[in-house]
Amino acid sequence: GAVVSQHPSRVICKSGTSVKIECRSLDFQATTMFWYRQFPKQSLMLMATSNEGSKATYEQGVEKDKFLINHASLTLSTLTVTSAHPEDSSFYICSARSLQETQYFGPGTRLLVL
Residue partners of 6: CB distance under 8 A and separation at least 6: 21, 22, 23, 24, 93, 94, 106, 107, 108, 109
Angle subtended at Cα 62 by Cα 11 and Cα 26, rounded to the nearest 5 degrees: 50
Q: What are phi and psi of 19, to 5 degrees?
A: -130, 135
Among 11, 22, 51, 66, binds other proteins (CB under 8 A): 51
Nearest to 6 by CA among 112, 79, 57: 79
Q: Is residue 70 part of the contact set for other proteins (CB under 8 A)? A: no
The nearer residue to other proteins, 80 or 108, going by C-beta atoms, is 108
Q: Binding marks (x or -) toward other proteins, 86..105, rule CB under 8 A?
A: -----x-x-x-x---xxxxx
The nearer residue to other proteins, 75 or 95, going by C-beta atoms, is 95
Among 21, 24, 32, 84, binds other proteins (CB under 8 A): 32
Which chain residues interact with other proteins by CB under 8 A? 2, 4, 6, 32, 34, 42-44, 46, 49, 51, 57, 91, 93, 95, 97, 101-108, 110
